[in-house]
Amino acid sequence: NGVTTGTAGAGGAGRTIIRYTGTTAQSVATGTYTTTTVGGDTIVTYSTVGTHTFAPISGCNGGCNLTITAGNVNFGSTIGATTALGALSVNATNGFILPTTIAGSLTATGQTSLNGNITTTPSGNVSFNSPVILINNSTINAGSGTVTFANTINGANNLSVNAGTISFGGAVGGTTALGDSAFTSTNALNLSQNITASSILARTTGAASDITIAATRSLTASGAGNAITLASGRNFINNS
């Protein structure tokens, strides 16, 4: 449909999709862009150089979906603070820092540094497709949704994950041990990777939900006392 050219302040009904075609990211606040409206979605395309600063975009509220693809992405404040976003997808070649986020779902590609809590409403999925680094204490609440860590998790901060299903694709604390870690799943919980942290809590709340430690995997906690706690809704299966 219509294509317009101007400077920052893109909006519109439906989703806002950010597409960057240059080699160095630029500022949403000052750069030139083109917008295309397709089926109620606003597609914003940037091509000039500069620094990506998405502080204005973090003010996107009211359930709109946001897709960002760039080399560098910097969020200036809490995402979805007034009204949760819809689906948030970030693909940052050079990695990015993710602040406190409230959205319908989250997909993160590129090394992700967690600097706050993540909440999906009502029960959306959270997918980390690349390594995760904890630069602050973080809690992820996904309701009955699925939280997927497709790669490693590191950082000497606390991590609490609450979801319907939690899956691991890389070592947890393998390079830098986590602080206090807690993984609470409604469904069965497969501890398929090594976990190293100050303390480890693994818990399932479903009446038929087992906890399984996979073959050759181990849980290592450096804290005193009951540093490792396994609380299963049904069975505990140790294949290690």
Asked if residue 73 has pLDDT above 70, the reply is yes
* Buried/exposed 221-231: b ≥16 CB within 10 Å, e otherwise: beeeeebeebe
Q: What is the mean pLDDT of residues 73-82?
A: 78
- pLDDT surpassing 70 at residue 152: yes
Q: What is the pLDDT of residue 224?
A: 75
Enter the pTM of the model: 0.78
Average pLDDT over residues 124-143: 98
- Phi/psi for 233 (5° steps) reads -70, -20
Percent of all residues in the chain with a pLDDT value above 70, rounded to a whole number: 73
pLDDT at 71: 76
pLDDT at 237: 94
The pLDDT score that the predictor gives to residue 125 is: 97
- Cα 39 to Cα 14, 42, 44, 85, distances in angstroms: 8, 9, 14, 19
Phi-psi region of 225 (alpha: psi -120 to 50; beta: other; left: phi over 0): left
Residue 183 in this model has a pLDDT that exceeds 60: yes
pLDDT at 26: 38
Confidence of residue 25 (pLDDT cuts 50, 70, 90): very low
Mean pLDDT for 149-159 is: 98
**Which pLDDT does position 52 carry in this prediction?**
39
Query: How far is Cα 7 from Cα 30, in angstroms, rounded to an integer?
Result: 6
More confident residue, 180 or 2: 180
What is the average per-residue pLDDT within 145-173? 98
Spatial contact of 103 and 83, defined as CB atoms under 8 Å apart? no
Q: Is the pLDDT of residue 220 over 60?
A: yes
H or E element at residue 192: none
28 — pLDDT class (breaks 50, 70, 90): very low
Average confidence score pLDDT of the chain: 80
Write down the pLDDT at residue 43: 52
Beta bridge pairs of residue 231: 203
Mean pLDDT across the stretch 140-154?
A: 98
Cα–chain-centroid distance for residue 240? 29
Answer for the pair 181, 195: CB distance below 8 angstroms, yes or no.
Answer: yes
Beta carbons within 10 angstroms of residue 83's beta carbon = 12
pLDDT tens-digit map of 93-112:
888 899 999 999 999 999 99
Check whether the bond before 122 is cis (ω within 30° of 0).
yes
- Look at residue 13 and tell me whether its pLDDT is greater than 50: no
Distance CA 23, CA 212 (A): 45
